[in-house]
Amino acid sequence: MYLGIDVGGTHTDAVIMDAGKVRVSCKKTTNHNDLLESVRAALSEVLADIPPSAVTRLNLSTTLSTNAIVQGRIEDVGVLVSAGPGMDPEDFRIGPSYHVLHGSIDHRGHEILALDAAELDQAANACRDMGIQAYAVATKFSTRNPAQENQILDRIQDQAAVATLGHRLSGLLNFPRRVATAYYNSAVWRIYNGFADAVEDAARELGLTA
């Protein structure tokens, strides 16, 4: 049996499928102040007459992240980027704390210009002073050589609750997309973790081992 749960902005839905057919389903109102309560209620209802051990897969879905972005309820993110010649990172400015650093990796992965430690410190300190705990880091050719992204991470990791690095998102060279994706990933990180923790805790309480 497969169990699916979808936590949405309005409702939390759960369904159990058995041999391709719906065995049981339910819909509960999503309590944004207590996602665990919403998930627990939905899972408890569909498992009322089904032993948790019969569930072999648990599929998860949520629109909480999308809703938060659309509604402007995302966390402030400190964005640290560098590109080198040929592209102006200012064209991709996003968020309230966007910092362009001098530094460059070429398309072959060779460092052309090292990061300026003082400049990096200034950007990191500005983010810290704003109370920012979520970070996005992207350099133009980090997919060829992530050294400068990792150097930036080393500087901010003590003040970061989360830091998304562009080279960990994709091997493609689309720098603007990696800037935006890193930003939004960190911006919804705390919201998504609340969803994931709620599912994990409820599953553990109910004895699901799928």
Q: What is the pLDDT of residue 84?
A: 86
Are 111 and 145 in contact, with CB atoms under 8 Å apart?
Answer: yes
Entry pTM:
0.86
Q: Which of the four pLDDT bands, split at 50, 70 and 90, describes residue 9?
A: confident
Question: For the chain, how many residues are written?
Answer: 210
Residue position matching structure tokens 């949520």: 62
Q: What is the pLDDT of residue 202?
A: 92
- Alpha-carbon distance of 80 to 120, in angstroms, equals 9
The predicted model gives 99-125 an average pLDDT of 96
Nearest to 101 by CA among 80, 122, 121: 80
- Reported as a single tens digit per residue, the pLDDT across 16-65 is 999 999 999 999 999 988 988 999 999 999 999 999 999 999 999 999 99
- Reported as a single tens digit per residue, the pLDDT across 148-203 is 999 999 999 999 999 999 999 999 899 999 999 999 999 999 999 988 999 999 99
Beta strand residue intervals within the chain, DSSP E: 2-7, 11-18, 21-29, 57-62, 77-82, 97-100, 104-105, 111-113, 134-139, 162-165
**What DSSP state is assigned to residue 146?**
-
- Reported as a single tens digit per residue, the pLDDT across 70-89 is 999 999 999 999 998 888 99
Tell me the three state secondary structure of residue 41: helix
